[in-house]
């Protein structure tokens, strides 16, 4: 992964609005923003948007195919899949976001410390990070679930922990670059404390990196948490979480394929929207990431 | 050769660290291993104490750590709480289907990634490039459990082209595609930027000037050089592949290490979880070593005269 560090001046000089216009000029980013906004609306207004109660069962509707009333069909308990998918936005998006924030805060703290302190401490810790990077992140997350136990909150912690090494590595790189800035040297020469330099000088300088890293990994975070729920380690039925819905739908896939269509499509759309946004954002914030011409 | 030996020695601290991390993490797991082993069956204190002594759990932490390391060196991670078999043997019996799946996923992922990447990279910013890049992004956003289910439904149930369960080659096709699709995206992007770089090099201009056919220029000169960065990724992608196998095995109800891992976690079968994680890391470290050696074969310019800077 490239180190993405920029002077904060660049971020400030480009005004927010022109940045936004630049960002939305890209059709993919525009589409991604619209889709993501739609999901956010679903998450916020789920009780009003969903035509049925997501946990209301109806024996007569069991595995009913999509029709004018149940748009996406009904599941094994006769629950309306459309309503459940809308409610599902309340799970995957916040859970993915929470995972990301926890991972960034912890990984970022490690990264800043490693990059700032350097020396032997950095050398040893970086070796440990190398080892941790070796664990497939989903396996690492499963291991953490093994320790903490099954559940959605534990999945957030598990996926966040699994992301920490990668975040720490990238942010450490950004800090190493930011440290080279003259103003850091100047601040230190003026007798500023390490904490002050880290928070006032290093942190703003690595902010673009953090934002790009965050958006590029949000899709992954959503996918990983949904995957764990699918494996039965996260959200438990009857929660209308997309991964868990897919898990309970797969038994009936042969006769009722609609039980897996809508939740999977929703998950796919949410992740691709976030990834499109992340891609474009990294190009706008750091032009070095732009597609080479 | 000296480089190879040095790399081989470099593995030792990594393995040692992994073992330590695994030991420490599982030390902190709440719950008594012996009562987990009994599976909730009430047992007298005497039986529990005997079992604890048999497992060496009554010894102090440091002594257990030393014995754990000693046994880890010879690949002995104790026996499964649930199956009451040596975990190493259980893993050995299940490793084959996972390796097959990983290999299949790798073939699909590399093939597709290479195709998309080269198509995109040869004409940057053309419509073909845009389509390929979008496909790559879509592939990386596809939940592999969902694509697996779709594949099962379309090709297994509706069209009935391939068997859904079984152990033959034809039963490997769909799982490989599901695993590979996810990997192809990252790989395609890397190949693309790598090809764009390679096509700008002087030796490509020379090749054109010599009047070589474009297909030869791309196939022989550009591709060969463009493959170095993606191959570096290969080692890292291995973890994606293993992670993908865990999910794919689950979706396709295939036997294998991934299924074993999820079951072991659900059953709180800690020795099995420990062993699986240690072996996964071991394989990862080994493959990365192989990848390093592969560079030298592909690009003779890389000679490890000095320690590669990391």
pLDDT in tens, B73-106: 777 777 777 777 888 888 888 888 888 888 888 8
Q: Are residues B108 and B64 in the same domain?
A: no
Q: Are residues B23 and B133 in the same domain?
A: no
Q: Are residues B294 and B152 in the same domain?
A: yes
All residues at 6 or more sequence positions from A243 whose CB lies less than 8 Å from its CB, including other chains: A92, A225, A226, A227, A228, A229, A230, A234, A235, A263, A267, B143, B145
Q: Which of B49, B73, B97 represents a domain boundary (last residue)?
A: B73
CATH code, domain carrying B111: 1.10.3720.10
Q: What is the predicted pLDDT for the residue at A293?
A: 35
Q: How far is CA B296 from CA A96, B3, B117, B218, B299, in A?
A: 40, 11, 23, 21, 5
CB A234 within 8 A of CB A228: yes
> Could you read off the pLDDT of B261-309 as tens digits, one per residue?
888 877 777 788 888 888 877 777 777 777 777 766 766 665 554 444 4
Q: Are residues B171 and B49 in the same domain?
A: no
> Could you read off the pLDDT of B10-38 as tens digits, one per residue?
778 777 877 887 788 777 766 666 666 66
Residue-number span of the structural domain to which B199 is assigned: 87-298
Number of domains in chain B: 2
CB of A210 within 8 Å of any CB in chain B? no
Q: Are residues B160 and B109 in the same domain?
A: yes
CB of A27 within 8 Å of any CB in chain B? no
Interchain contact, A264 vs B250, CB within 8 Å: no
All residues at 6 or more sequence positions from A279 whose CB lies less than 8 Å from its CB, including other chains: A28, A29, A216, B137
Give the minimum alpha-carbon distance from B142 to chain A in angstroms, rounded to a whole number. Answer: 5
The tens place of each residue's pLDDT in chain A, 293 residues long, gives: 444 555 555 555 556 777 777 777 777 788 888 888 888 888 888 788 777 777 777 776 676 677 767 677 777 776 777 888 888 888 888 998 999 999 999 999 988 888 888 888 888 888 778 767 766 778 788 888 877 888 888 889 988 988 888 899 889 888 888 888 888 888 888 888 888 888 888 888 888 888 888 888 898 899 889 988 888 888 887 888 888 888 887 877 777 787 788 888 889 999 999 988 888 887 777 655 554 43
| Selected residues 255-284 of chain B with any CB under 8 Å from a CB in chain A | 261-262, 264-266, 268, 270, 273, 276-277, 280-281, 284
| Residue B78 belongs to some domain of the structure | no
Q: Are residues B11 and B159 in the same domain?
A: no
Query: In chain B, which residues have their Cβ closer than 8 Å to the Cβ of A233?
Result: 262, 265-266
Q: Are residues B215 and B293 in the same domain?
A: yes
Residue range B36-64: mean pLDDT, rounded: 72
Is A24-53+70-289 a domain of CATH 3.20.20.80? no
Rg (CA), chain B: 24
Q: Are residues B69 and B101 in the same domain?
A: no
Q: Are residues B54 and B201 in the same domain?
A: no
pTM of the predicted structure, to 2 decimals: 0.81
CB A135 within 8 A of CB A162: yes
Q: Are residues B158 and B60 in the same domain?
A: no
Q: What is the predicted pLDDT for the residue at B302?
A: 59
Interchain contact, A134 vs B17, CB within 8 Å: no
The percent of residues above 70 in pLDDT, for chain B, comes to 86
Q: Are residues B293 and B255 in the same domain?
A: yes
Measure the CA–CA gap between A138 and A110, rounded to whole angstroms.
21
Give the three-state DSSP class for B193.
Answer: helix
Measure the CA–CA gap between B77 and B73, rounded to whole angstroms.
10
| Residue B132 belongs to some domain of the structure | yes
Residue range B47-71: mean pLDDT, rounded: 76
| Residue B309 belongs to some domain of the structure | no
Interchain contact, A233 vs B266, CB within 8 Å: yes
| Residue B307 belongs to some domain of the structure | no
Q: What is the predicted pLDDT for the residue at B308?
A: 45
> Could you read off the pLDDT of A39-97 as tens digits, one per residue?
888 888 878 877 777 777 777 667 667 776 767 777 777 677 788 888 888 888 899 89
Looking at residue A235, what DSSP letter applies?
S
| Residue B139 belongs to some domain of the structure | yes
């Amino acid at each position: 992964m490239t180190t993405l560090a920029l002077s904060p001046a660049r971020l400030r000089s480009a005004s927010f609005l022109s940045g936004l216009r630049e960002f939305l000029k890209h059709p993919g980013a525009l589409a991604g923003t619209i889709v993501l906004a739609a999901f956010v609306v679903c998450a916020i207004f789920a009780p009003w948007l969903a035509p049925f109660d997501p946990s209301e069962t109806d024996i007569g509707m069991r595995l009913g195919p999509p029709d004018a009333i149940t748009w996406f069909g009904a599941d094994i308990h006769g629950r309306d899949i459309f309503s459940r998918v809308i409610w599902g936005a309340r799970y995957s998006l916040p859970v993915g976001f929470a995972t990301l924030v926890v991972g960034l805060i912890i990984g970022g703290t490690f990264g800043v410390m490693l990059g700032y302190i350097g020396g032997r401490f950095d050398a040893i810790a970086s070796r440990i990070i190398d080892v941790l990077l070796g664990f497939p992140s989903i396996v690492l997350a499963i291991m953490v679930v093994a320790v903490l136990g099954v559940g959605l909150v534990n999945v957030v912690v598990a996926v966040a922990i699994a992301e920490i090494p990668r975040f720490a590595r990238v942010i450490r790189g950004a800090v190493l670059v930011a440290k080279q800035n003259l103003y850091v040297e100047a601040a230190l020469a003026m007798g500023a404390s390490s904490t002050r330099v880290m928070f006032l000088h290093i942190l703003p300088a690595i902010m673009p990196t953090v934002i790009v890293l965050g958006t590029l990994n949000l899709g992954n975070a959503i996918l990983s948490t949904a995957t764990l729920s699918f494996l039965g380690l996260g959200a438990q039925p009857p929660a209308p979480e997309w991964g868990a819905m897919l898990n309970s739908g797969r038994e009936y896939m042969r006769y009722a394929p609609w039980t897996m269509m809508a939740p999977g499509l929703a998950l796919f759309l949410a992740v691709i929207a976030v990834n499109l946004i992340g891609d474009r954002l990294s190009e706008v914030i750091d032009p070095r990431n732009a597609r080479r011409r | 050769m000296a480089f190879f030996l040095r790399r081989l020695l470099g593995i030792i601290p990594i393995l040692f660290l992994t073992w330590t991390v695994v030991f420490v993490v599982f030390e902190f797991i709440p719950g008594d291993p012996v009562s987990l082993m009994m599976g909730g069956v009430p047992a007298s204190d005497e039986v529990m104490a005997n079992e604890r002594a048999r497992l060496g759990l009554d010894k102090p932490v440091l002594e257990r750590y030393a014995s754990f390391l000693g046994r880890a060196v010879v690949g002995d991670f104790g026996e499964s709480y649930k199956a009451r078999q040596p975990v190493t043997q259980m893993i050995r019996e299940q490793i084959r289907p996972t390796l097959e799946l990983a290999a299949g996923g790798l073939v699909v992922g590399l093939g597709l990634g290479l195709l998309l990447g080269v198509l995109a990279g040869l004409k940057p910013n053309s419509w073909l490039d845009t389509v390929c890049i979008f496909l790559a992004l879509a592939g990386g956003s596809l939940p592999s459990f969902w694509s697996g289910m779709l594949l099962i439904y379309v090709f297994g149930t509706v069209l009935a082209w391939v068997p859904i369960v079984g152990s033959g080659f034809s039963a490997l096709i769909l799982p490989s595609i599901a695993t590979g699709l996810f990997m192809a995206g990252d790989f395609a992007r890397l190949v693309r930027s790598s090809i764009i770089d390679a096509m700008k090099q002087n030796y490509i201009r020379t090749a054109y000037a010599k009047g070589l056919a474009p297909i030869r220029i791309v196939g022989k000169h550009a591709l060969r050089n463009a493959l170095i960065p993606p191959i570096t990724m290969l080692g890292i992608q291995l973890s994606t592949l293993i992670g993908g196998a865990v999910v794919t095995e689950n979706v396709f109800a295939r036997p294998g290490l991934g299924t074993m891992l999820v079951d072991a976690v659900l059953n709180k079968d800690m020795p099995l979880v420990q062993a699986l994680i240690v072996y996964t890391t071991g394989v990862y470290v080994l493959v990365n070593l192989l990848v390093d050696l592969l560079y030298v074969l592909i690009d003779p310019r890389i000679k490890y005269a000095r320690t590669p800077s990391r």
